Structure 1
């Protein structure tokens, strides 16, 4: 009995501390807990487009038309929501996964009645109102209201059956076969766990129940007085009146709830009593929140109701108030949806209290608390999703929203890291603000600075691992890591940093002497740049004693000014004033200048020093596109001169184009089929005789004016001036010349014939009766004959002149054959033969001689200037006859009139004689872009630095200006070898070959892209070197273990910042070089008071960190266990002994044992009368890196020793079992959750139980005193 009582006392003793802790936490929770917030709901539309109709079957519910959805029910697996549509006379269901809508009953939506025992899709309904689904077998029950029947869709046979009602409205009693019972517009239904169907017989004002009796249902009255509407107070169920009830449901205790619609009440049936639980009996509305639903909360036609499966709240529809409301078991009433306005508003997860409903009727709720509403007159089904405001957590039963701090409930012992109170959402008030801080009390403080202020705490050189406990980084010392070293000398040594600076960080000197710099302040500085920096003195000199000594060609304090050809870059005359001196003797010329000193301008694209071609080689290019022409040369490019008073570009130069004026007064005559010569090309040949051989050419009777064209002197005709004329008549016109009595031997010199020895000029010639028209050849007058006209006959007259008169018929152009009748000789016409004929045209015809000459005698045309040919039909163009193949530049055109060439193709040849070639629509100086020569049609001859069909493309450094690579792809080639760089501040150099990256020239390889960690490939675009330890835009972002510091989700395992190469600065709670270790902060160690070695001591080690397995499932943890015994009195304690042991804590089902040396308690015998304290401590380490992953957790308790003689009561059998010493066993149990099986690790708890037994070797007087020299055994089980 004593042992039993003693055991009980030990049990009480063991659990008193635990109960005390619970009480403290309970009191803490009372004082710091904030009031919970009510649950809120977000509203959205599940089905319906808002206009009445019937459409959308087998499509998305949001696209379907509904017509007054009235009541709702969820399938037992909550996959389908069934919707009764009152005015469509149908039952449809919504697949809550796909949100497709599917017809279930009366697919064609035709009102009527056609019985049962058929496919539900073919069964007619008439204004159905109610639906319920059996929890027993899934059968579906429908109130077919206007048919006054209840129907059942059987899951078993998939048919619809009539189970109650005979289609006649009325009431004919109870306990009948239900199909014989009359009903009057049945409404709400509910199937209880017994399979009984509660039926609201609305217009009979009663509640009835259907019970299955082997093969049919019977009907029984449950509440109300049949056919008597009204309210007569609460009381017995069968005596209390109802008024058109609609909804019904039942709670888990069997109590039935009715919406007494026209009495504006919710009523409850408990046993045989009907009582009112909500509503005042008067239609109205007072408030959305009521503490007493029956006193101060009027309703207005409540309809459907349903119990929440989570908390017992009764959800119901307050129809005419256009609200959905919730009645708690305690009797308080709140509105959960609807602003009271009969309208439609609120979509896309709007707050449900701000949404408008329109006479809703049905309501349903699933096991997750999601509520569905039949928003009847909005022709929609709406959905309410419960939620809490940010910072609050929904209770499991959804009764309220509790405040949280960083995801942990305010009343949890783990809230605020167990270091403070959660005073508002995500705001903790720490217990001890001198040791902890942060919004979650997650940070410790060292010297008053939070551990996350990594730049300040521990002077930025250590980690604050516990209050005022800095763990210094390598190279830092002092209580708060305030001392470091630079190059082997401590920062507080006067010689540190070469005595010229302060050691402000590990191996980081801050030089105080402005003349020195470098890692150890031992390198001279020039203008802020170290002497050993390649950029010192602008990379163009040496830093000596703080002064730049410039290299040759560089000047300025910073050696920043180059010289070009002896002139400093900052002088206005550098590069001849036409460029920029960019480097030594390297000028970048302005547009239209070139040359090593930009001394040469361009004229028409040709550099001024190209004297053989610039300004057409006839002038000097004195400024861009400005030529100073030599004497006798003119034009913008000195390409025009003059020859003998005519400009070289005139059509009249060199004898009207018979040659080219190639230099001043120098004609280069054409040498083709119509050659010319002479200094003005004024000479040619006529029939093989030079035109300047005046004694012979043109028979010395004319001038050779163009090739084979003689311009005869007066008195001579013929193409070679070989025919003289005598008194205007050519010598070869023998019928007329010399009056026919002689022949013409030279101008106006006739030699007379002789006839019979008499000169023809002698009047006696031919007996004075004829003409001597040839030697001895007389032509006798009319009426005369004979060789000498010596014989006579009658003589006629013509126009008063005798026929034998020489004047007759216009000087004998005909014969007077009769009175006034001239018979004209061949070649004459007219009544007196006065009109000559040329080639069948009278001389007075306007078209005679092709209208280009005069007909002066038969077939003798005298041509106008510029025309040739017997009929003057051949025009001459610039000295060449039209029938000559050389005319109009050798057939490039047609000579259509005197000096008028019509060029055949004006797009190829133009000019007066078609001798000017056309190149792409331009001629002469405008052709070939003004840079080349147009040789012939569309063929340009370009200078060497130009290309293209029109010489339109120039080159910059042998690359065409149209190439994407010209000017290094960074500029525009504006002239030959002249680049205009894009965005001058971005690209530069003669060929735009240089750019800069973040202020450093790309050519400065040692500095650009973070001191050569990359290549500057474009403006501000660095291409980091392969395998570089840096990356990022400037190749300045360090990498930690191969991952770029800006890849925040990956670098340092996403648990820290990469601050330098392979240097991770871990976020609070994370450790390790790569921040891949988690600080296990949620651990505790405690044990009860120790009393004697044969009583048991309970030590519990708890690791309650949900991330334990995530970080350490593939690693092992070492526990550093420390046990200390100390003794003392009057508040002063002396440490007796300490033992520290490292042991691995694997996450597996194994057991590990180790021993604590007896030295732990070797001095205990001298202090048996003092208060003894046993302190157990543990620190956890990652075994791979020996990184400490937890703070030291300790627990202390009194260690009281009883009389050692009690040991004698222990049996010898226990001694014989081999127990060789006092044993302390530590058992750690860590349940392992499968990472593949669950998404969230809820937690891992290690429970450690330490116990120890008495050393049995000393059985009597020696007792404990001898046992002290034996080891304790520590057994650790997992």
Structure 2
């Protein structure tokens, strides 16, 4: 645990040693020396002392002396010598007004400035230790007879003839340019140019290589330019880009040539036209994507598939016109007719109407009104849409329709379809092309053409229009509320509310009358509450109020109190409920404000204080005895 002595020494050390080390001088050329100094400190020490105490022993008196050594802390002042660092300017330097150490020249620099102790830096055209010698430009020495040998517009010292090189030059005669990467006065500055650019040895300006620009040559040429300072425009076409240095074109996929103006040769595509087309049946491929371009009659990614049945032409987009089972060429669409038919589209019979066979000597047996045609070679009946059978005498079976009854009805919700065209015939309650949609809200019946007559939010059966009432309503149109004391769906639930409470017809929630609360209105209002659902606060004075009417909120006063809020005591001479009864006490007697009982003045008694005290009695309630004399004693 740190003693008081150590604390005092630590504080003195911080104040006297550490704090003086804070530097006041700024900048270079500051020196430090050690300086001794004295300081008075208060130190503590533990000093022993002898203390006597008494212990029990077998003597008379039974007490013996015992001595022990105790230590007490004493304080004293001591003078100690300490060392502290002192800052001062180094030799040859002096402090200026800004607390900085600047060099001092013993002799004034007449045409220059003092740059280090006793060393001047002269202005151009002056020389000598104190910059007091001047010669015309290009001359130096005694009487300025010697010629300067300095090159590149450099000057020479008029006293020594030493060359003072200009920016970008070094050497004894200033004949050497700065080495690469250096520039400026004495070549002391470093070039900051990037991307292998060189810089001017005098100004430091960057000289960019082709393909770069910017103050430091840090930017590549923008798209579309190349060369020195990016001044040349690229000649590449079709989205090609050019090398920012040489201008050579880099073509986008599908293009080739010096300026990317040529599409890939036939059979090739993609980047640098190196991808080989993978197409068949004489197809070519797109020079950009490699997508096959099929010849008429073929399709697929590689043009391997022929056109589907009854389709022909480029991409098989055209529908064949051949009729009566005629075959069409997938390339040209030309029809090849079967036996019994002729013409460009095979629509012309080789036999007259009603006859068929190789010699046209057989009579067709088809029902004419239901038949589209009778095959002129085989005599087979081709039925009109909606008819079936060898002679077209039967309608299509259920849930089928169309030519040859090959199509299946797609109607929903048990709807039938017309055998001719498959049009759906919806059942009541449904609508839409496929009878998949129920009637919109508020409509019912066949084709949903009838408007529902239901009231009060009720819904109706989409088939029959029957109303489904919401809870609380009844009647064919749900236009009558539930009879009193009933609620709920179809008004069949009896109300459970007590004390003349009404129930909400939808869910049976009880609506209590004044003075009652609770789910079934079977609870009286708690003290201090009244009215419907006991929601109102009684406004009665607590002191004088016996109760608050739970229905009306009327204050019922205690005996001896009155007022709308039962806030006032009964006036003198009145008592009872609302102070309506008058006291009948006589002889200045007063009555109790609650029950009217008389309190008589001294000397009177009786229910109405109508009797004076009996002989020998006096005072309040006539309970005191008058004094009497006897046997020589007196009672006063």
Same fold at TM > 0.5: no
Q: Which has the higher contact order (CA 8 A, sep 6+)?
A: 1
TM-score using structure 2 length: 0.32
TM-score using structure 1 length: 0.18
